[in-house]
Amino acid sequence: MSTTSQELDQKQAVTTLRRKDLLGIAELSPGEIELILDTAEAMKEVGTRPIKKVPALRGKTVINLFYEPSTRTRTSFEIAEKRLSADTLNIAIGTSSVVKGETLADTALNLEAMSPDMIVLRHASSGACHFLSRVCRSAIINAGDGMHEHPTQALLDAFTIRERKKKLAGLKIAIVGDLLHSRVLRSNIHLLTKLGADVWVCGPPTLIPTDIRRFGVTATSAVEEAVRDADVIMLLRIQLERMEGAYFPSLREYFRVFGMTEARMHLAKSDVMIMHPGPMNRGVEIASEVADGPYSVILDQVANGVAVRMAVLYLLAGGAEHEEAA
Amino acid sequence: MPVVMDADRIGRTLTRIAHEIVERNKGTDDLALVGVRTRGVPIARRIARTLREITGQDIPTGSLDITLYRDDLMRHAVGPQPLVRKTDIQFSIDNRKILLVDDVLYTGRTTRAALDALIDYGRPKAIQLIVLVDRGHRELPIKADYVGKNLPTAPEESVQVRLLEIDGEDEVVLETGGGA
């Protein structure tokens, strides 16, 4: 945990994002993360105006290339791009040449021949964004790659926590659910530990990755232990579509043992925040009373997603040009 | 590094501008102050304070960040993106006379950006421009309504406004360019 470069950049405020792509949280320094969160605060104000649009990315073209279904993330990126005046287009695999057998690299290079400035990629394979960033000149933003990372989700989660709690350092954050298949978990672990939170992860033993403790988190299968005195409880979706075997007896059994009920929630601090990246399986990882209850910030997370994505798009738009110039 | 305005002079100048505002607008009805970040904001607050002393009325005061409206964003390889700060205008600007406040008027490009930004918040009845220093060299047809000090400068010179709230002291300094 003693990374001197991280300590260094916390002393002098980071004011720029000197990178072409946002591939994951793993590569970011704490200072860069805080720069994105600070910029997102300014971007959030844009969404409160009568005219919700600023000219910052005028003339920039952004392609949203989604190889997996998505409602929230794709819409959120599109709104963020439009509020910054970028020209956007959405490509969903169902209607594209991918169904005719085109590879990811070929699709991307063909799109790139039309000179977009940024490509937002969601893909089922871990590492797809890293691969594309080596092939493409455009800035690549990871909107979720397989079981690897979902950086903008972690950033909006951190933004939402910071907005309420004013800080992340020292908070007890319990993440409960399908740890094995979750890219949201991986990005969140990187981000929350970099900013000094006390991260607990919890799920059935079959869904806990073996090396998870290496990332500086506490892992347990006792949900009561994970949520006791927690400042934040984050639920993760049980990703049935990524499961090939039987990881637990049944969804009802899962809910009985791990589901977030009001009784379990009350073990946490009295001002606990309940978070979920969506889409929710009500009655599986979370009870409806909790999801819709007064402690839930699930819809705030969605609202903040737009501001955080605006910040990322804005900061990367400068970073890419800088790199070319240098 | 000649000091062109000291703390006393800045104080007297802002008091004079406050009186000019009252005279020109026949009072302070429908007025609001909007400072351009960073140094326009404390200047706007000081003028609001003086206006309260003169008229007994509170003038709504806000701050405007123009970064997202700059005309040099993305235009050439200017390096990394400038930092965006929050705009904070807690009142409707519709049908108000907005007094836009900045520290230095130079090319006029910041003011152009500020006008565009303001218009996105509504339709003010009028916008008047207040600057502490007008150093000339306009590149756009923009003129200030209230000027603290007209300061003839060479393009390679730079005008540094330092304010108590941000820099710990009040002064305006003319720095010669080229050397340090």
Three-class DSSP labels, A41-99: HHHHHHCCCCCCCCCCCCCCEEEEEECCCCCHHHHHHHHHHHHCCCEEEEEEHHHCHHH
Report how far Cα A18 is from the mean position of its chain's Cα atoms. Answer: 20
The answer to ipTM > 0.90 is no
State phi, psi for A119 to the nearest 5 degrees: -125, 125
Q: How far is CA A158 from the centre of its chain?
A: 9
Nearest to A38 by CA among B163, B81, B111: B81
State the maximum Cα–Cα separation within chain A, in Å, rounded to a whole number: 57
A69 at B interface, C-beta within 8 A: no
CA pair distance A159, B20, nearest whole angstrom: 44
Cβ atoms A194, A33 nearer than 8 A: yes
B83 touching chain A per CB within 8 A: yes
**What's the pLDDT score for residue B82?**
81
- Spatial separation of the C-alpha atoms in residues B52 and A8, rounded to whole Å: 45
How many residue pairs from chains A and B have C-beta atoms closer than 8 A? Answer: 72
What percentage of chain A's residues is helix, strand, coil (to nearest 5)? 45, 15, 40
CA angle A194/A156/A29 to nearest 5° reads 30
* Distance (Å) from the alpha carbon of B63 to chain A's nearest alpha carbon: 12
Q: Give yes or no for a contact between A162 and A106, defined as CB atoms under 8 angstroms apart.
A: no
Strands B171-175 and B158-162: antiparallel
Helix (H, G, I), strand (E, B) or coil at B44: helix
Give A322's contacts in chain B (Cβ within 8 Å): 77, 79-80
Q: Select from A18, A42, A49 the Cβ nearest to the Cβ of B86.
A: A42
> Residue B50's beta-bridge partner residues?
none
Flag whether residue B13 sits within 8 Å of chain A, measured between CB atoms: no
Give the pLDDT of residue A324: 41
B 96-155: CB under 8 A from A = 116-117, 120-122
How many Å apart are CA B170 and CA A85, to the nearest integer? Answer: 39
Hey, are the CB atoms on B77 and A54 less than 8 Å from each other?
A: no
Global pTM exceeds 0.80: yes
- Label the pairing between strands A87-92 and A172-176: unpaired
DSSP-derived 3-state class of residue A212? helix
By C-alpha distance, the chain B residue nearest A319 is B80
Q: What is the end-to-end Cα distance of chain B in Å, rounded?
A: 10
State whether B122 and A322 contact (CB < 8 Å). no
Q: What residue ranges of chain B have pLDDT lower than 70?
A: 74-80, 177-180
Task: State which amino acid sits at residue B95.
Answer: N
Please state, in angstroms and rounded to a whole number, the distance separating the CA atoms of residues A92 and A223.
Answer: 38
Q: Does A42 touch chain B (CB under 8 A)?
A: yes
A24 within 8 A of A187, measured Cβ to Cβ: yes
- Residue A251 to residue B16: CA distance in whole angstroms: 74
Read off the tokens for A229.
């005195």
Q: Closest to A324 (Cβ–Cβ): which among B69, B77, B88?
A: B77
Residue B178 pLDDT: 55
Radius of gyration of chain B (CA): 16
Closest by CA to A83, choosing from A46, A117, A50, is A46
Report yes or no: A36 at the B interface, CB cutoff 8 Å.
no
Kindly give the confidence (pLDDT) of every residue in chain A, 326 residues in length, as a single tens digit, with 9 standing for 90 and above. 444 455 545 456 788 888 899 999 999 999 999 999 999 999 999 999 989 999 999 999 999 999 998 989 999 999 999 999 999 999 988 777 777 888 999 999 999 999 999 999 999 999 999 999 999 999 999 999 999 999 999 999 999 999 999 999 999 999 999 999 999 999 999 999 999 999 999 999 999 999 999 999 999 999 999 999 999 999 999 988 887 778 889 999 999 999 999 999 999 999 999 999 999 999 999 999 999 999 999 999 999 999 999 999 999 987 544 444 33
Sequence-ordered list of residues with C-beta below 8 angstroms from that of B16, at least 6 positions apart, any chain: none
CA-based nearest residue to A233, from A209, A258, A196, A205? A258
Annotate B113-143 with b (16+ C-beta within 10 A) or e (fewer).
bbbbbbebbbebeebbbbbbbbbeeeeeebe
Phi/psi of residue B107, each to 5°? -75, -25
The tokens of B175 are what? 């720095």
pLDDT of residue B79: 59
Contacts of A154 (CB under 8 A, 6+ apart): A25, A184, A187, A188, A190, A191, A192
pLDDT attached to residue A8: 47
What does residue A239 show for φ and ψ, rounded to 5 degrees?
-90, 80
pLDDT at B180: 44
Which one of B80, B88, B122 has the shortest CB-CB distance to A318?
B80
- Contacting residues for A212 by C-beta, under 8 A, at least 6 apart: A179, A189, A201, A219
